[in-house]
Structure 1
Amino acid sequence: MAWNEPGGNGNQHDPWSGGGRGGGRGPDKGPPDLDEALKKFQDKLGGLFGGSGGGGSSQRGGYGLVGIILALVFALWFVSGIYTVDQSEQAVVLRFGKYHETVGPGPHWNPALIDSVHKVNTTRIRSVSQKATMLTEDENIVQVSISVQYAVDDPKAFLLNVRNPESSLENALDSALRHEVGSSTMNSILTEGREVLATHITSRLGGYLKNYGVGLGLRAVNVENTQAPDQVQDAFDDVIRAREDREKTINQARGYENQVIPQAQGEAQRIREQAQGYKQSVIAAANGEAQRFTDLLAEYQKAPAVTRERLYIQSMQSVMTRSSKVMVNQDKGNNMLYLPLDRLQGGTRSGSSTSGSHSASSAQQTSLNPSQMDELANEVVQRLNRRQNNNGIRREGR
């Protein structure tokens, strides 16, 4: 009969348990019963969670296992809700897909599977560049290269208001650029109008971003390059060089003007000052002569003869000081005469050299011999006598 058939005798036993399920293991013991090992484990778990260690209550053991599993699941769920926000970031929290709050840097906790956290870097400077060919106000074609630097100012608007904020920024930049270029002339865009163009684009683009609500803030707008189309770039370069040469020539002319005009004004002022000084000197001299004549007239009216004599003597003195003649008075009959012929010759030489009418050879005269000196002295005496007689006759006539 088989060992596990009903009605078997007691000597027959389970070959795995070695003499019965609940009994001890005999000399030919086998491995322990699996059900018994499971019950013992459940009893131990039940003892840990307040159950009795004996009797093997399978229901309480099942509750304890479920509790452990739930505790582990809760711990994992709680730990998964802990996160940290960096100093350069802000976190937008959505609860069941709806905006809940925005948190700053530091450690935070939000319930997992309920809240979703989206971190946004708000300090990183981002950039976008564009290069486009467009039509100006005066119907010319120009190529403009522009770059924009921006950052996230509002994380909530950046994540929730627009599906693709950076694409919206690029479209707004293209619109603002075309509007401003279309309102300007080619000459201003290619030369001094770049800064003005960048300022206008910054203002217009900032208005677009504010109206869109994308949460982006502009940091800088740079017009990197403006040029004519490649096909006509050489001609435009020639025009620009000609314009620069024109400005250079104008600046040089202005520099020469600024140099010459002050000099001419200074020279004119000097001439005016000299004329004014000459005018004052002439007027003063004329006033002095008029006053002298008035004073002389008053003296003449008081003593006419004396005044005429004094005037005559002064006139002769002024004339004879510049002449080589010698005046001799022989009223007292003095025949002894002293004629300084050496001084007369010196005066003749100096007068001839001063006038400049004689040459150097004529200035060096030869010395006179004694007979010539006697003849010259007699002639001088005769002339002086005749002049003295004539003067005496004139005085008697007066």
Structure 2
Amino acid sequence: MAWNEPGGGGKDPWGGGPNNSGPPDLDEIVRKLQERVSGFLGGGKGGGGGGGSGPDISKRTIGIIAAVLLIIWLFTGIYIVDPAERGVVMRFGAYAKTTEPGPHWHIPYPVETVQLVNVDEISSFTHKAAMLTKDENIVDVELTVQSRIQDAGNYLFQDQAPEKTLRDATETVVRKTIGGSKLDFILTEGRSAIATMIKERVQSLMDEYKTGLLVTSVNMQPAKPPEPVKAAFDDAIKAREDKERLENQAEAYANEILPQARGEAARAVADAKAYRDRVIAEAEGQTSRFTAVLNEYSKAPQVTRERLYLETIENVLGANNTVLLDVPGGDSLMYLPLDQLMKKSKQSQASTSDSRRGLSQPTTASTGTPDPRSRSTSRERSTR
């Protein structure tokens, strides 16, 4: 017969004494708990004579317990935000404020709750699609968009699915941008410009939708033409590169030739100015000489006329290879320095030709100062 069945003796097989069929008295349990707490705090005394102070001791104990529980509850409102996080405080489930990194306190649960959001974590996704360009060509576009959380409050409460919104906005912007650009621009130098344009437009939509996301970068892979026409596009790109190379070579050649041409032009202008100044100076000198001769001619016309005649004959005969001997009673043994006379004649001819080309200085004939040796020779001729 079991110990807990009727007639089993009512004894607990573990030595707990007789088993009472009813549940324990709740008042008795509370009373025993109060007595133990009072004894722990030193308020109880031995024996049963302290029945009059029981209610006061229980009130004080309950107040102390309540204060301790209140302090513990208040301490649960302390939280620390890491440098890479932001704390979003919610009061009764509604957004209240956003806290910066550091220690903070909020009214504990259930009044306020805090959700920590990592704002330094970079998330990325890849978008790839075939799109129609402005000149009605199909191009395969692939790009990677990286973003992070900029405003934790907007990220949690303004948009239900910020990442999905970012993907949809990226697809819309890419289709609009590629549809407004020509294929040659997309395949060549327009890749970086298109990536920048897509980033700005996507960020504008994110700010308008208040998703709290910041687009950090848009990396666009080189666009590819459709496979059936890829060879033709490759040839076109090579031709364009050859064109740029030839243009660069032509520009380099122009940069090399133009300074040289400018220098030669400046030198020619300087030579022309020098020739002009020389011709003017010679003309002024001849004018002064003519004026001086005119003054002398007015004073002594016969002497001046004879002198001019002799100088003219001297210049004419000095440029001639013929040697004239006009000496009465001349001797065949007369010594003539023919080599010196011929050499002088050649020099006079060279000086005359140079003066005509304007490349040499005025000769002695132009300045009107004949060679002393020719004067002596003319004197000898006139004497003889």
Is 1:184 matched with 2:181? Answer: yes
Match of 1:306 in 2: 303
Shift in alpha-carbon separation, 1:250–1:299, aligned structure 2, 3 A: same
Residues 241-265 of structure 1, C-alpha deviations (whole Å, 9 max, x = no match): 1112112212322333343344334
Is 1:226 matched with 2:219? Answer: no
Instruction: Write the distance in 1 (CA, Å) between the matches of 2:36 and 2:279.
Output: 142
Residue 129 of structure 1 and its aligned partner are, at CA, apart by 2.9
- Same amino acid, percent of matched pairs: 37
Contact preservation (8 Å) 1:90, 1:120: yes
Shift in alpha-carbon separation, 1:262–1:90, aligned structure 2, 3 A: closer
Match of 2:233 in 1: 236
* Structure number, greater radius of gyration: 1
Larger deviation, residues 86-95 vs 301-310: 301-310
Instruction: Write the distance in 1 (CA, Å) between the matches of 2:91 and 2:298.
Output: 132
Instruction: Write the distance in 2 (CA, Å) between the matches of 1:103 and 1:351.
Output: 110
Larger deviation, residues 78-87 vs 237-246: 78-87
Residue 338 of structure 1 and its aligned partner are, at CA, apart by 12
1:94-105 map, 5 Å: 94-105=90-101
1:286-325 map, 5 Å: 286-315=283-312, 317-318=314-315
Larger deviation, residues 301-310 vs 203-212: 301-310
Instruction: Write the distance in 2 (CA, Å) between the matches of 1:120 and 1:298.
Output: 113
1:185-200 map, 5 Å: 185-200=182-197
1:50-61 map, 5 Å: 54=47
Shift in alpha-carbon separation, 1:228–1:325, aligned structure 2, 3 A: same
1:344 to 311, 325, 337: 337
**Alignment TM-score, normalising by the size of structure 2:** 0.65
1:92 to 77, 88, 92: 88
Aligned residues: 322
1:1-398 map, 5 Å: 33=17, 44=36, 47-48=39-40, 54=47, 82-105=78-101, 106-315=103-312, 317-318=314-315, 341=335, 344-347=337-340, 350=343
Shift in alpha-carbon separation, 1:110–1:316, aligned structure 2, 3 A: same
Aligned partner of residue 137 in structure 1, secondary structure: coil
Unaligned runs of 5+ in 2: 1-8, 20-27, 350-380
Contact preservation (8 Å) 2:125, 2:144: yes
Shift in alpha-carbon separation, 1:133–1:309, aligned structure 2, 3 A: same
Instruction: Write the distance in 2 (CA, Å) between the matches of 1:207 and 1:163.
Output: 18
Shift in alpha-carbon separation, 1:90–1:237, aligned structure 2, 3 A: same
Aligned partner of residue 189 in structure 2, secondary structure: coil
Contact preservation (8 Å) 1:47, 1:53: no
Shift in alpha-carbon separation, 1:115–1:318, aligned structure 2, 3 A: closer
Q: State the AA in 2 paired with 1:98.
A: A
Shift in alpha-carbon separation, 1:199–1:45, aligned structure 2, 3 A: closer
CA RMSD of aligned residues (A): 4.7
Aligned partner of residue 118 in structure 1, secondary structure: strand
Unaligned runs of 5+ in 1: 1-13, 17-29, 357-386, 393-398
